[in-house]
Structure 1
Amino acid sequence: MAEVPDMRVRAVDLNGECPLALYDSRDRFELSIDFSRPPEEIADALEDLFQEAVETGRWSRRGTGSHEQAAELPQQGAAPHPENGPH
């Protein structure tokens, strides 16, 4: 089985340049989101990012969608929204 990349999602200030930034390599995936941007803009940017990754074949579904395979991957909780603070 291929090694799972280190996944990180961060709330960052991107100085109004864009709603999100991405670094994607074989061993690391980092998604930075500027939550000062309007939610609709963030959602649109995420949709565009994920759609492009699937269409270009950079991301693809493995196997037949078996739940057993997904259960083997380590589970991590989502990062808290910066306005909610840590729980």
Structure 2
Amino acid sequence: MATSGADFVRGRGWGALGGTLAVGCLAGERLMFVKLTADGELRWTRAPGRLRDFGRLRGVTAHRGSLLVTTSNGSNDKILRVRPAR
């Protein structure tokens, strides 16, 4: 899967994704959300389909209730802002 950057999802509006670890995937070309128990055991993972088709995802940073995600495709790279559903 070739994971890269990650940060915890914080803020209102994220529903079941609140408190998860958002992980950028280079080879998998998607944003994964990982839910852990208080003991650090894996509970579940999700990869919403709407967060695909941007190519290789590298950096993931929580910022003011959103996630900032950078692409790493070699050209025409972007900074994506992922917001919770309102």
The TM-score bracket by the shorter chain reads under 0.3
Higher helix content, 1 or 2: 1
State the TM-score, normalized to the length of structure 1: 0.23
Q: State which structure, 1 or 2, has the greater radius of gyration over its C-alpha atoms.
A: 1
